[in-house]
Structure 1
Amino acid sequence: MVLDLDLFRTDKGGNPDKIKENQSKRYKDVKLVDNLVEADTEWRKCRYSLDNFNKLKNLCSKSIGLKMKNKEPVGDNDALPTDFPALEELTSEVLAILTVCQIKKVRLMVEDATTKCDQRRIELEGIRMKNLREIGNHLHESVPVSNDEDADNRIERTVGDCTVRKKYSHVDLVVMVDGFEGERGAVVAGSRGYFLKGALVFLEQALINFALQRLANNDYVPIYTPFFMRKEVMQEVAQLSQFDDELYKVVGKSSEKSD
């Protein structure tokens, strides 16, 4: 799950420096935080400008309606005065001295500015989200700060006989109990496909039922989830750039075919 954007906004109580510190502890790029803050700041300015442009369009429409109601001359020249203010500074008083023809030109200018501003907003939103997905969640204070998880992984507790014996991978173990058929699975479903068989099928079902019973006894509601999720939903809970090669993907006509 990505971080809340308000955590990057100082006016919302956020602290970008704290997130930078967290990135450093993860040995990740702290520049991502600066990039996000910069894009988000400009995005918010664009959002503010868009709201004002929408108000200006409504103001232009009302001014035109009022002039038409009062039967004022429409005018045949849309040239604006040389001292005409910037769009951000327009008021009803400024529009009141213009003709209908001139106000229509102003409205077109506002619509053009709105289009450009919205395009920039969308661009900034993409930059912001790209950086946000690459920034890690806050580490718990108990997590060791290290760039080598294997060398510096902390042992919380030991239980039972901890004598080191020969280690077998999960692939070795499932083959040893004849509970796995990888070659045929790959033929059917691709390189990661497999058939589970024999005792491991019963073991899997036993674990599922054990977990369900335990959860039900603690008042949890069992849920059977969909097998797949849309990309826009997945990106909310995973860094797609990191897991793109590890995820199963279904590509359709309207999906990420061009990726």
Structure 2
Amino acid sequence: MIDIKVLREDPERVKASQRARGADESLVDQILSADSARRTALSHFEELRSQQKSVSKQVGAAMGQLNAARKRGEDVTALEQQAEQARTDAAALAAQVKSLEAQATEQSATFETLLKKVGNLIIDGVPAGGEDDYTVREVVGSPTEFDFEPLDHLALGERLAAIDMERGAKVGGSRFYFLTGVGARLELGLLQMGLAFAVEHGFTPMITPSLVRPDIMTGAGFLDEHADEVYRLEADDLYLTGTSEVALAGYHADEIIDLSQGPRRYVGWSTCYRREAGSHGKDTRGIIRVHQFQKLEMFVYCDPAQAEAEHERLLGWEREMLAKIEVPYRIIDTAAGDLGNPAARKFDCEAWVPTQGRYRELTSTSNCTTYQARRLNTRFRTDEGKSEIVATLNGTLATTRWLVAILENHQQADGSVRVPAALAPFVGEDVLKPVS
């Protein structure tokens, strides 16, 4: 979530960010009102609790005087009355304190709920608007052209005995599939190439849990606006993750991490699950939009002052990986309204898909600034020894969807598919040939 200090000091900046996202800017005033009510309730609670401590001392003193008088054999009628009155006052005050504490807790819960609805503050330069309002940052390569009628990735995959959607649907339902033979080898080779690349650049490899607790899913920002896209196991109160970003965001929750040697960089390999709610009728053919897939995800913890530079580095590593699979692509600066709540800026790399005649997303990299870490209480020590919230960033290095771009762009007239030179050693084949 965003820093409440920023919202208090510069509410117009937060409203402008909300407007750019196409989100509700009235939330800002609601939060400020809830914040004021919360702080007032807490102040009254603390003030009355202080009085309660004083009254408790008075009760103790009255009881001490009463007990001492009894031991001396004196008339204690007046002291008993004083002690009883002190106990009565203390009980009444305790009830008031309990009531004010409940009010303060309720006000705080209202405040937290409202604050979590506000998306991260977008970074200057992010285009305003929705899904179609992105700006193209760069185009790399020209759309692939053929002197024959190209096949789509599913037709190719079936000829190569690499993709079996029919049996995937039989076993798991729609949007499930089997990768078979060279299809499985192609995906594993791609992921292995990405992993080797990440290790070469100083990333720590991680095999992450696919199931996480609600507090981790919420902390990563995946249960706010898009909870309907997440699979939940109700009997265990656990969630299936749609990216290892979630588990990696929770890896250092409630910790103070050492960044004295620079950013902490992890690369997570995981099976990912997405309900694809709201995508009925979209990309129903092939493996572009499916419920389960493999993904290699970069995740970084760094000093917030380094976050924008680190974001460019992540994009640079994605570019290097795309160069290895030799496909034309473009880089877009995603519009504010198409950002998830945690992201302050997101760059997508979209590969050309010949049979669709358009670019489709293969990678994305997001700068989440302190949004996730603030929720998950992940901090670092500054050079001055002060504890501050870290920044988190993420970026894709490879996914199952990359097979779409590889198959379609490298197909040959005989139905075979050339394996990109950098990938071939990881697949064990230079050319994937149709199976009769």
TM range (shorter): 0.7 to 0.9
**Contact 2:52–2:90 (CA under 8 A) maintained in structure 1:** yes
Please, which moves more after superposition, 128-137 or 189-198?
Answer: 189-198
Q: 1:149 aligns with which of 131, 134, 140?
A: 131
Cα deviations by residue, 1:149-186 (Å, 9 ceiling, x for unpaired) = 32x32111112113699xx9xxx624541344445445
Alpha-carbon distance, 1:31 to partner: 0.8
Is residue 27 from structure 1 mapped to residue 22 from structure 2 by the alignment? yes
Q: 2:153 aligns with which of 149, 154, 173?
A: 173
Alpha-carbon distance, 1:125 to partner: 2.8
Q: Secondary structure at the match of 1:136?
A: coil
Is residue 215 from structure 1 mapped to residue 198 from structure 2 by the alignment? yes
Q: How does 1:177-256 map to 2 (within 5 A)?
A: 177-178=157-158, 179-186=162-169, 188-189=171-172, 191-252=174-235
Q: Normalising to structure 1: TM-score of the pair?
A: 0.73
**Contact 2:214–2:237 (CA under 8 A) maintained in structure 1:** no
Is residue 48 from structure 1 mapped to residue 43 from structure 2 by the alignment? yes
Change (3 A) 1:105 1:58: same
Q: How many residues align?
A: 222
Change (3 A) 1:190 1:238: farther
2:145, 2:43 → 1: CA distance? Answer: 63
1:214, 1:108 → 2: CA distance? Answer: 67
**Contact 1:133–1:239 (CA under 8 A) maintained in structure 2:** no
Is residue 3 from structure 1 mapped to residue 37 from structure 2 by the alignment? no
2:155, 2:54 → 1: CA distance? Answer: 75
1:190, 1:74 → 2: CA distance? Answer: 80
Percentage of pairs with the same residue = 25
Alpha-carbon distance, 1:126 to partner: 2.9
**Contact 1:75–1:101 (CA under 8 A) maintained in structure 2:** yes
Alpha-carbon distance, 1:64 to partner: 1.1
Which residue does 1:162 correspond to in 2? 143
Change (3 A) 1:57 1:196: farther
Change (3 A) 1:222 1:115: same
Q: Secondary structure at the match of 1:28?
A: coil
Question: Aligned Cα RMSD in Å?
Answer: 2.8
Is residue 64 from structure 1 mapped to residue 59 from structure 2 by the alignment? yes
Alpha-carbon distance, 1:57 to partner: 2.5
Alpha-carbon distance, 1:187 to partner: 5.2
Please, which moves more after superposition, 28-37 or 113-122?
Answer: 113-122
Higher helix share: 1
Q: Secondary structure at the match of 2:199?
A: helix
Q: Secondary structure at the match of 2:22?
A: coil
Q: Secondary structure at the match of 1:158?
A: strand
Please, which moves more after superposition, 33-42 or 46-55?
Answer: 46-55
Which residue does 2:426 correspond to in 1? none
**Contact 1:40–1:128 (CA under 8 A) maintained in structure 2:** yes
Q: Secondary structure at the match of 2:96?
A: helix
1:255, 1:145 → 2: CA distance? Answer: 35
**Contact 1:32–1:131 (CA under 8 A) maintained in structure 2:** yes
Which residue does 1:134 correspond to in 2? 117
**Contact 1:133–1:235 (CA under 8 A) maintained in structure 2:** no
Is residue 17 from structure 1 mapped to residue 28 from structure 2 by the alignment? no
1:186, 1:121 → 2: CA distance? Answer: 52
Alpha-carbon distance, 1:193 to partner: 4.0
1:210, 1:62 → 2: CA distance? Answer: 70
2:212, 2:238 → 1: CA distance? Answer: 12
Which residue does 2:96 correspond to in 1? 113
Change (3 A) 1:111 1:177: same
Please, which moves more after superposition, 110-119 or 181-190?
Answer: 181-190
1:249, 1:190 → 2: CA distance? Answer: 18
**Contact 1:134–1:239 (CA under 8 A) maintained in structure 2:** no
Cα deviations by residue, 1:124-143 (Å, 9 ceiling, x for unpaired) = 23322322222111212221
Change (3 A) 1:154 1:62: same
Alpha-carbon distance, 1:246 to partner: 0.7
1:248, 1:175 → 2: CA distance? Answer: 30
Cα deviations by residue, 1:199-232 (Å, 9 ceiling, x for unpaired) = 3322222222222222222222112221111112
Q: Secondary structure at the match of 1:252?
A: coil
Unaligned runs of 5+ in 2: 67-75, 240-436
2:208, 2:202 → 1: CA distance? Answer: 18
Alpha-carbon distance, 1:247 to partner: 0.5
